[in-house]
A = this chain, B = another copy of it.
């Protein structure tokens, strides 16, 4: 769509909404009414509804210099559904609002929605409503997701018990390494536009940043194994910040083992280029959207056999505090870093 440029004003608001939503197919029987009225209608008879919302702002949460709009659409949905999965629920509907300046063409929004629909298909959710508006500057995206869960089977951050095992899906820190790489290349590119970056080697880091996947597979695997986490959260702000949420809200203490943290095989090498080590990146870098959860010890064997999940520590009494045991055997206090956008 890159060669065409249709001004949004040529369609008008209603034309734009029609254009962007005309091909929606309803996937969930629970979606009684989708886009096109004042509100969507959902039937979750006998189930509980889980609701979550996120806002993404250009220049704060993403940089269109290196975020293709299709990836961004995919990511906006993934990030939100990650919250629904983190409740141990199944997402079923989303609402999507965007505000953008007239710098954006209809084709640009088409690309963005391609990513949104790709995510809807992958996660089997219905886009059932939203709003489009003008903005004074940049692109602002707001996604709200609804999901369902059997009565009282949702998992919060408050239920971790002493001696529970702390588990995490996937690898940690990849998205932040991708961000460091892209920020560096952007700087080089601004100074010397003729230099073409070669990202092939670091695709694993860059793709994790630009099109992260919500861990639907982990939730489904936990269900087949009949493992119900005692507490769960998704990692949007870095491991430190997220495990402290569980610690605080469960009123427990935490022990994490540095040598158990799951890294990509090349994480050490790539982090080294930025004078960082993978542990610092994992603890403080954000946007991994992996699931962090606690399980009773009785489920250890099942987890140990899985390739989806690593055991990285255990839960202890609150008065014992929150500590990382380093590879050298030192106990380092875990402190919140993470989100620093204001200021």
Chain A interface residues (CB < 8 Å from chain B): 7-9, 12-14, 16, 32-33, 36-46, 48-61, 83-84, 86-87, 89, 93, 95, 97-99, 102, 128-138, 140, 142, 144-147, 149, 151-152, 154, 156-158, 232-234, 249, 336, 339, 341-343
Q: How distant is A236 from chain B, measured CB to nearest CB, in Å?
A: 9
Q: Name which residue of chain B comes closest to A145, CB basis.
A: B39
Q: Which of B13, B93, B136, B336 contacts A58 (CB 8 A)?
A: B136
Copy number in this complex? 2
Which B residues touch A149, using CB under 8 A?
Answer: 41
Which B residues touch A146, using CB under 8 A?
Answer: 49, 51, 146
The verdict on A87 contacting B37 (CB below 8 Å), with A93-B51, A95-B51, A144-B51 known, is: yes
> B52 to A49, Cβ gap below 8 A?
no
> A154 to B41, Cβ gap below 8 A?
yes
Which B residues touch A59, using CB under 8 A?
Answer: 136
Most buried by B among A59, A140, A342: A342
Please name the 3 residue pairs, one residue from A and one from B, whose CB atoms are nearest each other, closest first: A39-B52, A9-B343, A142-B142
Q: How distant is A169 from chain B, measured CB to nearest CB, in Å?
A: 15
> B60 to A135, Cβ gap below 8 A?
yes
Q: Which of B13, B60, B156, B341 contacts A341 (CB 8 A)?
A: B13
Q: How distant is A160 from chain B, measured CB to nearest CB, in Å?
A: 13
